[in-house]
Amino acid sequence: MAKGVMVVQSGPAEGRDAEYERWYDEVHIPEVLAVPGFVGARRFRALDGSHWLTIYEIEADDVKGPPAAFRERSASGRTTRSDALRTDPPPVVTLYELVE
């Protein structure tokens, strides 16, 4: 089974920090972790408060599978979006595989 991480840099819309934090912790992360292959998530905030970072752990036959499945769920409206998420600039998502 392959292992990897999906690293997401994002942040709240102007003045919506508390709403963003609540949505991310209580709604978004549980929805991501409901996708088979995502096995954990850890969040960090830049010390200057400019952006947040989430590291999602993945264990799957193909590391690309769980993120693709989440994107499909999102595109079909099966996830909860929040306008508290800053979209300009949009979140930056990078996928990594474990090198053994």
pLDDT tens-digit series, residues 11-68? 999 999 999 999 999 999 999 999 999 999 999 999 998 889 999 999 999 999 999 9
Average pLDDT for 68-95: 96
Q: What confidence score (pLDDT) does residue 32 get?
A: 98
Q: Which residues contact 35 (CB under 8 A, 6 or more apart)?
A: 66, 69, 70, 73
Domain coordinates in residue numbering, the chain: 2-97
* CATH number, domain 2-97: 3.30.70.100
Rounded Cα distance, 10 and 50, in Å? 9
Q: What confidence score (pLDDT) does residue 100 get?
A: 86
This prediction has a pTM of: 0.94
